[in-house]
Amino acid sequence: MLTLSAIKADVGSIGGHTRPSNRMMRAARERLTDAKARGLVLDFDLTHTGDDICLLMVHRHGSASPQIHDFAWEVFTAATVIAQEEGLYGAGQDLLKDAPSGNVRGAGPGVAEITFDETAKERPAEPFLVFTADKCGPGAFNFPLWTVFTSPLYCAGLMLPQMKPGFRFTVIDMEHAGGDRIVALDAPEQHIDLAVLLRDENRFGIQAIHSRRYPHQQVVAVSTDRLHTIAGEYKGKDDPVAIIRSQGAFPAPEEIVSPYFTAHYVAGDARGSHHMPLMPAPINTAITGAYCLPLVACMAYSVTADGTLSDPVDVFDNPVWDSTRLKAQEKGEEMRRQGFMGPAMLPIQELEYSAFRNTLAELEDQFKIVEPFGPELAATE
């Protein structure tokens, strides 16, 4: 078996929530190189998306491996020390616990992992994509994944015999703390039930998708931990990572990326408090836009049966995405023009995790019920 682990965290960035420093990235690379030399990982890649560092590791320790998770924590801790030395902003931001033993899930970093049989006859080659998003939550993937895995409008491949049996979605209640509260729903039959849940991107997220033609094959993994559920208060946005295997009985990369030309609105942005469009951007892009527009990067890889990664292809680093980027910027400006009003800002339940909740609580205390008709009596007081 081979495992792909993508573990992502924000442990400090330059001049605000922009990007990690070169020294932080070098320290992470040194540790990954060493892990490869001593055989802990077979291969790796290291990227950042905005201020989040993503470790992609290929190994044989399985999903949720204590060795791999402890190692990832070590890498993030080393990068945190450098961020502290350099006086960077938010040093160690996503490391919410002192030292988790054996599993970084629930401790802050985002984790997406898929384990598969590299000898399976139905997978003669193993192409896959890694999506890394900054300034948004895991629900940002609800729209593109629902459309690609349930609707031939975005993925005509669903009409082919291998995909016609559909896909099983594992949906998680991201508001639930302690243990995963999940439900399995099958598309195409239950695509409306899926829609009913997934429209609420703050509460429900897609944790996994499996093929129904080959039920042992996991196609998608998304990091679905929400920092506020773990910490009980706003600790930065959740900045998700997703792994999606492609081709054969799974959608093709060009189908998987097709919903991103919508530049759909997601929850996130400045202080994680607004709705803004998701802009597809090249990997290793710093966040510098107004209200820090949410960004998503996508890297395509192939991996051999012995765990060697190909060179990556930076999918959104291409002029075909320029018009989407422009559209995202225009949609963002349009939304921001109405400031904080109505849909521009997140619903109150989301803001309650931030310092807003103190002011809200104070205002709640000042409300009175005046009978029978409030305003007149209030005016005579």
Catalytic machinery residues: 10, 234, 237
- DSSP, collapsed to helix, strand or coil, labels residue 363 as helix
Alpha-carbon separation of residue 89 from 111, 138, 257, 273, 353 (angstroms) = 23, 23, 32, 19, 21
Q: Quick one: which of 52, 126, 255, 350 contacts Mg ion (CB under 5 A)?
A: 52
Closest contact distance (angstroms) between CB of 269 and ligand 13P is 7
Which CA distances in Å does 325 have to 222, 270, 315, 329, 339? 24, 18, 14, 6, 21
Residue 164 in tokens: 């016609």
10 binds Mg ion (CB under 5 A): yes
Binds ligand 13P (CB under 6 A): choice among 31, 135, 226, 274: 135
Q: Are 286 and 251 in contact (CB under 8 A)?
A: no
Element (H, E) at 147: helix 142-150
What is d(CA 117, CA 33) in angstroms, rounded to the nearest whole number?
25
Indicate which single residue of 3, 7, 17, 170 sits in contact with Mg ion (rule: CB under 5 A). 17
239 binds Mg ion (CB under 5 A): yes
x/- track of binding to ligand 13P for residues 161-200 (CB under 6 A): ----------------------------------------
> What is the separation of C-alpha 101 from the centre of its chain, rounded to a whole number of angstroms?
23
134 forms part of the interface with ligand 13P (CB under 6 A): yes
- CB 50 → ligand 13P: shortest distance, Å? 6
Q: Measured from the CB of residue 135, what is the shortest distance to ligand 13P in angstroms? A: 5
Close Cβ partners of 360 (under 8 Å, ≥ 6 residues apart): 348, 351, 352
Of Mg ion, ligand 13P, none, which one sits near residue 292, judging by CB under 5 to 8 A according to partner kind?
ligand 13P
Residues near 190 by Cβ (< 8 Å), separated by ≥ 6? none
Q: Quick check: 292 binds ligand 13P (CB under 6 A)?
A: yes
For residue 288, what are its two tokens? 């510098």
Among 90, 165, 282, 312, binds Mg ion (CB under 5 A): 90
Give the closest residue to 8 by CA, choosing from 123, 102, 107: 107
Cα 158 from Cα 10, distance rounded (Å): 36
Cα–Cα dist 199/225, whole Å: 18
Of 88 and 194, which has the nearer Cβ to Mg ion? 88
Nearest distance, CB of residue 136 and Mg ion, angstroms? 9
Which of 253-261, 266-274, 310-318, 346-354 is the region at the interface with ligand 13P (rule: CB under 6 A)? 266-274
Contacts of 280 (CB under 8 A, 6+ apart): 257, 260, 263, 295, 296, 297, 298, 316, 321, 324, 325, 328
* 350 interacts with Mg ion by CB under 5 A: no
Binding segment for Mg ion (CB under 5 A), chosen from 49-57, 159-167, 273-281, 305-313, is: 49-57
* Nearest approach, Cβ of residue 265 and ligand 13P (Å): 17
201 lies in the binding site for Mg ion (CB under 5 A): no
Please select the residue that binds ligand 13P; options are 237, 264, 274, 331, rule is CB under 6 A.
237
Q: Which stretch binds ligand 13P (CB under 6 A): 174-182, 199-207, 270-278, 316-324?
A: 270-278
Distance (Å, whole) CA 316 – CA 261: 10
Tell me how many degrees the CA angle 175-173-362 measures, rounded to the nearest 5.
20
The nearest distance, CB 287 to ligand 13P, in angstroms, is: 7
Binding-site ranges for Mg ion (CB under 5 A): 10, 17, 51-52, 90, 134, 239
Which residues would be at the binding site for ligand 13P (CB under 6 A)? 10, 17, 50-51, 90, 93, 134-135, 236-237, 239, 270-272, 292
